[in-house]
């Protein structure tokens, strides 16, 4: 089973946790023994952090693999995968480390397992520098399911920075193969909706202020649509700690979804949080792509594994996306091309088509 070890330099391009997630997921799926060196070498705290470690341990358990060098602060790991199995797997960052990032590493593996999987992910559900769980449920899920699988996302407990304490349960069944996707026709925006939340000791007025400020900001640019942002007080038994934030989604006539989101921090007024999310959404709508900047890189691994040619139209290519493409090509031998969109209406915009000839991975267990 095991061939020569694939060497990955963890300090290039994005240079962080994403390299680890993409390369270990592909290593697990393809049965490639892996060595990752210089992990997060350029970061202020180099090496593995708790959330990276819990993700690695989860992947190891997923395929009964061997993992060496897996401890906090380690800058080199060796991973030797075996056969992927389904069943119940738990990962706990014991911090506000993002459950959504744990999901990114484990979901592709669960698709090619021998039986259904239940992933119990613990940590931060609404954390900085990562997708919020609402984004995962409202944007990522409906789009990624176009590859031909479904998953269930049950938010048991929300957890915020700095304590974490959230828990999400993902349930999914394996597939024989993934279908390619084509997300190039953006259509026109038909509705805008969202949720502004407060949890713990924060007053409900904060949620109302975030929502109102976001609506005012969007109205300046998009006048003819009703913008429905619900202020929400998270129930005490479903939220651990204190937090506030907002996510706003725009839906188009062709089923494309875009988001803008922001999290409150101590000393930042509510209006500012609402406006930041609104401006992020508007920026994602201006570039003419059919996916927003956060979905871009999350689709790459699925495009690489699918059978046939996938195409997505995007705004400017992010560093995370370039990184995901690089490792999908290096490890999975998928073929990607990125070129500027040639459509007339995109001529003045920074719009690109990412095309991938997937490797047509098939599940040996089904």
8 A C-beta contact, residue 109 and residue 29: yes
8 A C-beta contact, residue 249 and residue 259: yes
Provide the 10 A C-beta neighbour count for residue 23.
Answer: 25
Selection from 97, 90, 80 nearest residue 32 by Cα: 80
Provide the H-helix boundaries in the chain: 17-30, 50-62, 99-111, 133-135, 141-144, 204-221, 270-286, 293-305, 319-332
Distance CA 194, CA 240 (A): 22
Residue 260 burial (CB < 10 Å; 0-12/13-18/19+)? buried
Q: From the candidates 52, 89, 320, 326, give the one annotated as an active-site residue.
A: 320
Selection from 334, 301, 366, 362 nearest residue 177 by Cα: 362
Instruction: Verify whether residue 52 is a known catalytic residue.
Output: no
Distance CA 275, CA 271 (A): 6
Residue 104 annotated as part of some ligand binding site: yes
Residue 257 has phi, psi (to 5 degrees) of -130, 135
8 A C-beta contact, residue 36 and residue 23: yes
8 A C-beta contact, residue 138 and residue 258: no
Residue 296 annotated as part of some ligand binding site: yes
Write the secondary structure of 194-222 as one string of H (helix), E (strand) and C (coil).
EEEEEECCCCHHHHHHHHHHHHHHHHHHC
Selection from 181, 180, 184 nearest residue 343 by Cα: 184
Residue given tokens 């979905």 in the structure block: 295
> Residue 196, preceding bond cis, omega within 30 degrees?
no
Residue 297 annotated as part of some ligand binding site: yes
Task: Specify binding-site residues.
Answer: 104, 294-298
Task: Specify binding-site residues for ATP.
Answer: 104, 294-298
Active-site amino acid positions: 320
């Amino acid at each position: 089973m095991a061939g020569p070890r694939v060497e990955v330099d963890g300090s290039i391009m994005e240079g962080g946790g994403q390299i680890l997630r993409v390369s270990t997921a592909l290593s697990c799926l393809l049965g490639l023994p892996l060595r990752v060196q210089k992990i997060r070498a350029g970061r202020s705290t180099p090496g593995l952090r708790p959330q990276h470690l819990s993700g690695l341990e989860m992947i190891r358990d997923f395929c009964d693999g061997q993992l060496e060098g897996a401890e906090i602060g380690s800058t080199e790991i060796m991973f030797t995968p075996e056969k992927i199995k389904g069943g119940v797997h738990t990962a706990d960052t014991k911090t506000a480390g993002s459950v959504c990032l744990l999901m990114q590493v484990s979901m592709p593996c669960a698709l090619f397992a021998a039986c259904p999987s239940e992933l119990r992910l613990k940590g931060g559900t609404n954390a900085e520098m990562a997708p919020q769980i609402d984004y995962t449920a409202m944007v990522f899920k409906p789009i990624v399911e176009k590859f031909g699988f479904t998953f269930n996302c049950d938010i048991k407990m929300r957890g915020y920075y700095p304590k974490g304490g959230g828990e999400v349960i993902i349930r999914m069944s394996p597939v024989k193969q993934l279908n390619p996707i084509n997300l190039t026709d953006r259509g026109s925006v038909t509705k805008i909706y969202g949720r502004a939340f407060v949890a713990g000791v924060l007053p409900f007025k904060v949620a109302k202020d975030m929502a109102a400020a976001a609506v005012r900001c969007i109205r300046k640019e998009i006048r003819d649509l009703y913008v429905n942002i619900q202020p929400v007080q998270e129930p005490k038994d479903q939220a651990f700690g204190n937090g506030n934030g907002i996510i706003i989604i725009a839906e188009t006539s062709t089923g494309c979804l875009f988001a803008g989101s922001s999290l409150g921090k101590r000393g930042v007024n509510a209006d500012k949080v609402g406006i930041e999310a609104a401006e992020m959404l508007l920026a994602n709508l201006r570039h003419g792509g059919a996916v927003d900047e956060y979905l871009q890189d999350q689709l790459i691994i699925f495009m690489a594994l699918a059978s046939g040619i996938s195409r997505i139209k995007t705004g400017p290519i992010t560093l995370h996306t370039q990184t995901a493409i690089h490792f999908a090509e290096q490890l999975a031998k998928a073929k990607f091309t990125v070129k500027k969109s040639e459509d007339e209406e995109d001529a003045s915009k920074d719009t690109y088509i990412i095309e991938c000839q997937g490797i047509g991975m098939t599940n040996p267990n089904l």
